[in-house]
């Protein structure tokens, strides 16, 4: 039993490091849903930057981000940035995006629940910026 505890204590830093990196620096997950088709298919692997975009304020138009859905905080969404804070949505009724907010939409307009339905997304709900998509 003591030997098992020693083994556990040796592995604990590795597990902790992996957890911190996955939650705070970079993560890998599978896309789920059709709202970003054809760009991202359900099942594709997405690599998400969870840190540097915050440090360098690097989210811009046309980036793809992962965010908390404003109307259901238990759901994460993957959407394209259509407009950033201070800008005006390029169609519709001239909606101005407040500072520290984003207008997010899915590429599959017919199957996406996005800012057209719930409005702008505050920056504190952005979880990461998609760096790579690996098609499956």
Domain definitions of the chain by residue range = 28-134
Residue 1: predicted pLDDT = 59
Q: Are 28 and 50 in contact (CB under 8 A)?
A: no
Kindly tell me if the per-residue pLDDT of 131 is higher than 90. yes
Q: Which of 120, 111, 125 is nearest to 73 (CA)?
A: 125
pLDDT tens track for 89-115: 988 778 999 999 999 999 999 999 999
Q: pTM, whole model, 2 decimals?
A: 0.87
CA–CA gap between residue 122 and residue 132 (Å, rounded): 23
What topology does CATH give the domain 28-134? Umud Fragment, subunit A (2.10.109)
Per-residue pLDDT tens digits for 1-28: 567 777 777 777 888 887 777 788 899 9
């Amino acid at each position: 039993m003591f030997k098992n505890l020693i083994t556990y204590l040796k592995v604990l830093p590795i597990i902790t490091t992996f957890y911190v990196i996955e939650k705070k620096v970079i993560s890998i997950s599978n896309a789920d849903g059709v709202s970003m088709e054809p760009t991202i298919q359900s099942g594709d692997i997405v690599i998400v930057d969870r840190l540097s975009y915050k440090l360098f304020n690097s989210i811009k138009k046309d980036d793809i981000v992962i965010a908390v859905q404003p109307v259901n905080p238990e759901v994460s969404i993957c959407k394209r940035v259509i407009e950033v804070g201070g800008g005006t949505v390029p169609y519709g009724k001239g909606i101005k995006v407040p500072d520290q907010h984003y207008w997010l939409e899915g590429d599959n307009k017919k199957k996406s629940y996005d800012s057209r339905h719930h409005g702008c997304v505050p920056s504190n709900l952005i979880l990461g910026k998609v760096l790579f998509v690996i098609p499956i």
